[in-house]
Amino acid sequence: MNCTELVKLASIAENYGQMTGVLAGFAFTGLVILLTPNTSDHARSVSTRGSGVPLALFVSFISLVLTTLLYSVMAGDSSEVARPRAATVELINGLVFALAVIILLHGVGLLMQGARIERSAVSFARFSTVVAFPTMGMFFIAQGVSDTAAARAMVQGQDCQTTMPPLGMWLTAVEAAVLSASLTGPVRRKLSSFSGVGRLWAPLVVFIVSIIVTMVSAFISTRSPRFLMSPTAINWFLVGSALLFTALGLMLCASSKPDSPPTRVMPDFPRRRQLRNKKPAFAQRRSAQRDLVGRSRRMPSGHI
């Protein structure tokens, strides 16, 4: 049995836990800054009301905190005997991590749309959120199956082989093709009618899946050190992950289109000056009465 080339999952989990903690801090800081009252002209020109940015950042913060907790628990499972269980937990935790990063980038992309910056930057952020990172998430989950297969070979006394399963490669390719097609003009125009639904349900789906996967991962962490998912269960997990990433990418594509065309907010200083100099109606009447009385007093008595 040759398993010397296998990586240490506990060390990887420790590094992932640090990274997810930093990302959670970024999400929390962005949410606090976004909710801080600001009366400047530039802040009023950035539209966030009804854009879905606060909900996306809040859900990403919760998901990243849960991911940090999961990887911290996994980092403590450093025994070589428990490698099969760690490989299974690694596969499940990767799903929560990928969803948290995707919804965090989605919130940043919506914020860039509200800021009305150059269209090339907004388009690149949309492509990264809708196509690139969901595809990368599916690829890394499929790659994680190789660690599970290597752990199973180690338990059975065979040589450890870390190869990506063909099903994972096909699912990754199909997902990338579908999500890329969703960014084309005709498909985007059809998806834009579900903009409000996508902005609400995309973060909610990530939140619900994160809670469920966290409980499943915590349950597996208490099982036998040699716990492994069966090949059939792994295949179903890959198919479900691909469907989830594809559905989430389509919802993000629909919600990335703004509801109304952007309008530039310009400071209206002349209008403010007119409103400041304009007196109320009752003040104008009293001023007119005083002028009339003063004029009558100044006129000679013969002219009255």
Tell me what pLDDT residue 24 has: 93
279 and 171 together in one domain: no
Tell me what pLDDT residue 65 has: 95
Residues in the chain: 304
118 and 78 together in one domain: yes
161 and 282 together in one domain: no
Task: Tell me the whole-structure pTM to 2 decimals.
Answer: 0.78
179 and 74 together in one domain: yes
Contacts of residues 38-43 at CB distance under 8 Å and 24 or more positions apart, as own/partner, are 41/265, 41/267
Burial status of residue 192 (CB atoms within 10 A of its CB: 0-12, 13-18, 19 or more): middle
**Confidence category of residue 213, pLDDT binned at 50, 70, 90:** very high
77 and 196 together in one domain: yes
The whole domain housing 202 covers 9-255
DSSP string, 143-161: HHHHHHHHHHHHHTT----
109 and 229 together in one domain: yes
- Inside any domain, residue 84: yes
- Inside any domain, residue 2: no
Which residues neighbour 76 within 8 Å (Cβ) at sequence distance 6 or greater? 10
What percent of the chain shows pLDDT beyond 90? 38
pLDDT at residue 265 greater than cutoff 50: no
| Minimum mean pLDDT range among 18-22, 38-42, 89-93 | 38-42
Mean of pLDDT values over 207-229: 91
What percent of the chain shows pLDDT beyond 70? 76
215 and 294 together in one domain: no
Q: Which residue has the higher pLDDT, 163 or 225?
A: 225
How many Cβ atoms from other residues are within 10 Å of residue 169's Cβ?
14
251 and 273 together in one domain: no
Number of domains in the chain: 2
248 and 276 together in one domain: no
Q: Which tokens is 112 given?
A: 């860039």
Q: Which tokens is 28 given?
A: 């929390």
Tell me what pLDDT residue 172 has: 95
pLDDT at residue 262 greater than cutoff 50: no
pLDDT at residue 41 greater than cutoff 80: no
Q: Which residue has the higher pLDDT, 47 or 150?
A: 150
Mean of pLDDT values over 158-176: 84
Q: Which residue has the higher pLDDT, 113 or 273?
A: 113
Of 199, 224, 156, 230, nearest in space to 52 by CA: 199
pLDDT at residue 14 greater than cutoff 50: yes
Q: Which residue has the higher pLDDT, 46 or 190?
A: 190
Stated as kind and residue range, the H or E segment containing 15 is helix 9-35
**pLDDT tens for each residue of 80-118:** 788 888 888 989 999 999 999 999 999 998 888 877 778
- Inside any domain, residue 91: yes
Output the average pLDDT for the chain: 81
65 and 109 together in one domain: yes
Stated as kind and residue range, the H or E segment containing 121 is helix 119-127
| Rounded-to-5 percentages of helix, strand, coil across the chain | 75, 0, 25
Stated as kind and residue range, the H or E segment containing 171 is helix 166-182
**Confidence category of residue 286, pLDDT binned at 50, 70, 90:** low
